[in-house]
Amino acid sequence: MSEVERLSAWHGLCRLEAHAAPDSVPFYEKLGWVMVDAGKSCPLMARDISSHDDSGSGGGFPRR
């Protein structure tokens, strides 16, 4: 999951959201995600992520 977050930040995203199966909510919470909508059969989880810095240490992925 950290690789998904890193790549997302690299591409300029600042937030990820996912509808999670109810029994996977604790998994997401352990990774720092928070529940933003519990009113559905699959709760919406979200995680704010940092954008990449321009120091050149971004892992070698090209910027779009």
Tens-place pLDDT, residues 2-34 = 899 999 999 999 999 999 999 999 999 999 999
Using alpha carbons, select from 24, 16, 22, 9 the residue that is nearest to residue 64: 9
List of residues 6+ apart from 11 with CB closer than 8 A? 63, 64
Tens-place pLDDT, residues 28-59 = 999 999 999 998 899 999 999 976 554 444 45
Using alpha carbons, select from 44, 59, 48 the residue that is nearest to residue 16: 48
pTM for the model: 0.71
Give me the residues paired with residue 37 across strands.
Answer: 44
User: What Rg, from alpha-carbon coordinates, does the chain have?
Assistant: 14
